[in-house]
């Protein structure tokens, strides 16, 4: 009887340690306390009318890519993570946007690698057949600069003058994106 109680105690301790380690790993990926982070107020975020912050990040081939400032095209910056269900739903629409508007719009997918696993991000890009530039934000500096705060997906549309004209958190239908893009293409 004592032996059975001892074995059960050891099993309980091992299970508690495993649960603790799993919870800590998920906490690192998902945010404080394992919950969705609180939203940052709109006043603190790069928002329509303001200059889009400039940045440089490596792409999947480790080449540095500079983004920001005046451009001959609209620029769409999409912040995402491989574990984000809505990001997976949105990915095919982003690929379609790239295919339809690629001559008039530059689309960058910014993987918030600080909150993701790089191998999972690379696998996601491969599985979703994404052909637009994917940039790796390994330190989370650009995610922080744009005040995304793990609100994935977040997409920022920047006009040719380098100013934010749209900021969307979450997924919107492809037709709605097309209307937004067309509106800003005709305005510039």
Do residues 76 and 178 make contact, with C-beta atoms less than 8 angstroms apart? no
Prediction pTM value = 0.76
The string of pLDDT tens digits covering residues 73-108 is 999 999 999 999 999 999 999 999 999 999 999 999
SS3 per residue for 53-68: CCEEEEECCCCEEEEC
Domains identified in the chain, total number: 2
Task: Kindly report which listed range (23-27, 118-122, 124-128, 181-185) carries the lowest average pLDDT score.
Answer: 23-27
Report if residue 79 sits inside a domain. yes
> Domain limits at 23?
2-33
Report if residue 39 sits inside a domain. no
CB-side neighbour CA atoms (13 Å) of 77? 32
6 and 52 co-located in one domain: no
67 and 143 co-located in one domain: yes
- All residues at 6 or more sequence positions from 12 whose CB lies less than 8 Å from its CB, including other chains: none
Report if residue 122 sits inside a domain. yes
């Amino acid at each position: 009887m004592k032996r059975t109680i001892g074995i059960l105690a050891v099993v309980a301790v091992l299970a508690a340690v495993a649960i603790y380690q799993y919870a800590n790993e998920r906490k690192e990926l998902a945010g404080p306390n394992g919950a969705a982070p609180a939203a940052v107020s709109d006043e603190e975020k790069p928002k329509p009318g303001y200059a889009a912050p400039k940045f440089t990040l490596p792409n999947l081939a480790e080449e540095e890519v500079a983004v920001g400032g005046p451009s001959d095209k609209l620029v769409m910056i999409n912040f995402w993570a491989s574990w984000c269900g809505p990001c997976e739903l949105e990915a095919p629409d982003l690929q379609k946007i790239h295919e339809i508007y690629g001559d008039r719009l530059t689309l960058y997918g910014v993987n918030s690698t600080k909150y993701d696993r790089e191998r999972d991000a690379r696998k996601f890009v491969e599985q979703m057949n994404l052909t637009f530039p994917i940039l790796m934000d390994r330190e989370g500096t650009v995610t922080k600069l744009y005040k995304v705060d793990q609100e994935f997906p977040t997409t920022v549309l920047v006009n040719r003058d380098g100013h934010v004209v749209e900021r969307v958190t979450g997924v919107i239908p492809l037709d709605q994106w097309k209307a937004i893009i067309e509106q800003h293409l005709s305005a510039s």
